[in-house]
């Protein structure tokens, strides 16, 4: 499959999990990758796994607007163009309301919501030239309330609607914007997921999926690859849920 032959994809959060799987999947289908992450060691491991040649990497804290702008320009300078932006970088953790400090709130919003906004704003002029697209990694937390997850739900819910707003705004100019809303995915992020002391088991049970075990990062990357490809030409503003039935009502 060569759906991304001749195209350049920028992937944030590429140092592990869904970001790494996405970078590898798009590279395997012919894309030249500009991979970024705040984790230098993880990013280096990802770069060693990519198929093909001519890939680019850089350290990036997506919560910093100037850094996002510089990263996009560096990617375009290195790779010559930009066709796909995958906003994958994110953090998670469960906290009771009284545990949520101003700093924790600002960090969650800064990475999960402001980061994709900064990246999208910087990338849009280049995506307009190539009639490219954006794929954002949201969450089922963008769709339903989840216990002890106020900052995460707020950030991912905002990202989901940011995706829809941009999809409408740029629809006539040929740039598509979509979101993927995963449930449980077996990544380092979920394995290290922070849980409050003495959680309410009944409320936590609401997060259970009908299908077990949880998804693998590569399954989410497959959905990203579809949405980013020309096969999804008629798909924009979509929130593609991959949650094993977690949010079925």
Nearest to 185 by CA among 238, 147, 140, 136: 140
Q: Lowest-pLDDT range, 72-76, 161-165, 208-212, 222-226?
A: 208-212
Alpha helix segments (H runs only) across the chain: 17-28, 40-49, 65-79, 102-109, 115-130, 150-169, 188-191, 201-204, 217-228
Which residues span the domain enclosing 157?
A: 8-238
In this prediction, residue 209 has a pLDDT band, given cuts at 50, 70 and 90, of confident
Sign of CA dihedral 197, 200, 205, 207: negative
Say yes or no to pLDDT of 210 above 90: no
Query: Is 107 inside a domain boundary?
Result: yes
What CATH number does the domain containing 57 carry? 3.40.50.720
Q: What's the pLDDT score for residue 142?
A: 96
Query: Is 217 inside a domain boundary?
Result: yes
Query: Is 166 inside a domain boundary?
Result: yes
Q: Which residues contact 111 (CB under 8 A, 6 or more apart)?
A: 62, 63, 89, 90, 91, 155
The per-residue pLDDT for range 30-77, each reduced to its tens digit, is 999 999 999 999 999 999 999 999 999 999 999 999 999 999 999 999
The per-residue pLDDT for range 96-147, each reduced to its tens digit, is 999 999 999 999 999 999 999 999 999 999 999 999 999 999 999 999 999 9
Query: Is 246 inside a domain boundary?
Result: no
Distance CA 177, CA 169 (A): 10
Q: Determine which one of 95, 118, 152, 226 is catalytic.
A: 152
Q: Tell me what the mean pLDDT of segment 24-30 comes to.
A: 98
Query: Is 35 inside a domain boundary?
Result: yes
Query: Is 247 inside a domain boundary?
Result: no
End-to-end CA distance of the chain: 36
Structural domain count of the chain: 1
Query: Is 43 inside a domain boundary?
Result: yes
Whether 226 sits among the annotated catalytic residues: the reply is no
Query: Is 143 inside a domain boundary?
Result: yes
């Amino acid at each position: 499959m060569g759906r991304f032959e001749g195209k350049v994809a920028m992937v944030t959060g590429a140092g592990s999990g869904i970001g790494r799987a996405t970078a590898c999947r798009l590279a395997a289908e012919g894309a030249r990758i500009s991979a970024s992450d705040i984790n230098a060691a993880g990013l280096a491991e990802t770069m060693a796994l990519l198929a093909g040649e001519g890939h680019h990497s850089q350290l990036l804290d997506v919560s910093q607007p100037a850094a996002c702008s510089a990263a996009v320009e560096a990617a375009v300078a290195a790779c010559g163009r930009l066709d796909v932006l995958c906003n994958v970088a994110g953090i998670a953790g469960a906290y009771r309301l009284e545990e949520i400090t101003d700093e924790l709130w600002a960090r969650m919003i800064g990475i999960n919501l402001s980061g994709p906004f900064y990246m999208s704003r910087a990338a849009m002029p280049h995506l307009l030239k190539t009639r490219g697209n954006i794929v954002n990694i949201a969450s089922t937390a963008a769709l339903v309330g989840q216990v002890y997850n106020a900052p995460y739900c707020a950030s991912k819910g905002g990202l989901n609607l940011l995706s829809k707003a941009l999809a409408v705004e740029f629809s006539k100019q040929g740039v598509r914007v979509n979101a993927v809303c995963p449930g449980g995915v077996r990544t380092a992020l979920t394995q290290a997921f922070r849980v409050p002391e003495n959680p309410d088991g009944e409320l936590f049970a609401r997060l259970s999926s009908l299908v077990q075990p949880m998804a693998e990062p590569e399954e989410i990357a497959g959905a990203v690859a579809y949405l980013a490809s020309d096969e999804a030409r008629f798909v924009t503003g979509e929130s593609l849920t991959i949650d094993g039935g977690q949010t079925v009502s």
